[in-house]
Copies of this chain bind each other. A is one copy, B any other.
Amino acid sequence: MPKQTFLNLPDEKRKIIVDAAIDEFAEHGLENASTNRIVANSGISKGSFYQYFEDKQDVFMYLITVLEHEKMEYFKGKHPPSMNMDTFGYFRWMIKEGMQFNSAYPRLVQAISRVMFGEGLYYQNFNHIRERSMQGLRAMIQQAIQNGEVDPSVDMDLAVMIIETWSNAISNYILQEGMKQKDIMKWVRSAKVQERIDKMLYVMEYGLRKTESDFEKTF
């Protein structure tokens, strides 16, 4: 985690550094990111960089906390449109809001997913982060089971893996297409894109949802 010196910095200066770092990781990943370029692009000195952060990875770790923080802020003000929504409905709502969040911070999201999926799988350091989000999913599925929406005999690990994979796939897909657009936020909100997200989610939902006869075969 960044040192106190960094956290004491005026907001504006901190933002410049963070933006430079986001750009660097988005373009080059973690292993290939250059601290030289980060300091050059943010206008701070080499010495300051190492007074703010332990090392390159430390910066990246900080970006993760930034993402988590922004996401929390974003969702704080949001509430599912209807009270009596089943778990899948809730998940669908969440994913779609997530896509809108992503379109608000596309570079940051891009930077982090590039590293997490490209290099993270082979590094140990990010396991705890993945673990945290998986626990959230697990709780959601438990809830769905209690609601009778998902068969209690479901293979929990598998379901988590499926949902995680699928969410990421959708997120990646939307982000990649979205980066080609002029106004990504507007594009994501468009009916066409929302419909596409729906379709992708339905595929997973149909597969996971409790169905009378076929279910035994699946889970």
Chain A interface residues (CB < 8 Å from chain B): 26-29, 31-32, 114, 117-119, 121-122, 155, 158, 161-162, 165-166, 169, 172-173, 176, 196, 198-200, 202-208, 211, 214, 217-219
Check A218–B196 contact: CB distance below 8 A: no
CB-CB under 8 A from A202, the residues of chain B are 207, 214, 217-218
CB distance from A179 to the nearest CB of B (A): 10
- Is the Cβ of B29 less than 8 Å from the Cβ of A119? yes
Contact between A203 and B207, CB atoms less than 8 A apart: yes
* Contacts A/B (CB < 8 Å), 24 sampled: A27-B122, A29-B29, A29-B118, A114-B121, A114-B122, A118-B118, A118-B119, A118-B121, A121-B176, A155-B199, A158-B196, A158-B199, A161-B173, A162-B203, A165-B165, A165-B169, A165-B173, A169-B169, A198-B217, A199-B219, A202-B214, A205-B207, A206-B207, A206-B214
Main secondary structure of the interface of A (DSSP, over half): helix
Chain B residues whose C-beta falls within 8 Å of the C-beta of A205 in the assembled complex = 207
Q: In angstroms, how far is the closest chain B Cβ from the Cβ of A73?
A: 28
Residues of B within 8 Å of A207, CB to CB, are 202-207
Q: A208–B218 contact, CB under 8 A?
A: no
A162 to B170, CA, bound (A): 9
Chain B residues with Cβ below 8 Å from A199 are 155, 158, 218-219
| Distance in angstroms between the alpha carbons of A72 and B116 in the assembled complex | 32
| CB nearest to A172 among chain B residues | B121
Could you say which residues of chain B place their CB within 8 Å of the CB of A121?
Answer: 114, 118, 172, 176
Q: Measured between alpha carbons, how far is A219 from B162 in the docked complex, in Å? A: 21
Interchain CB contact (< 8 A) of A32 among B31, B172, B200: B31
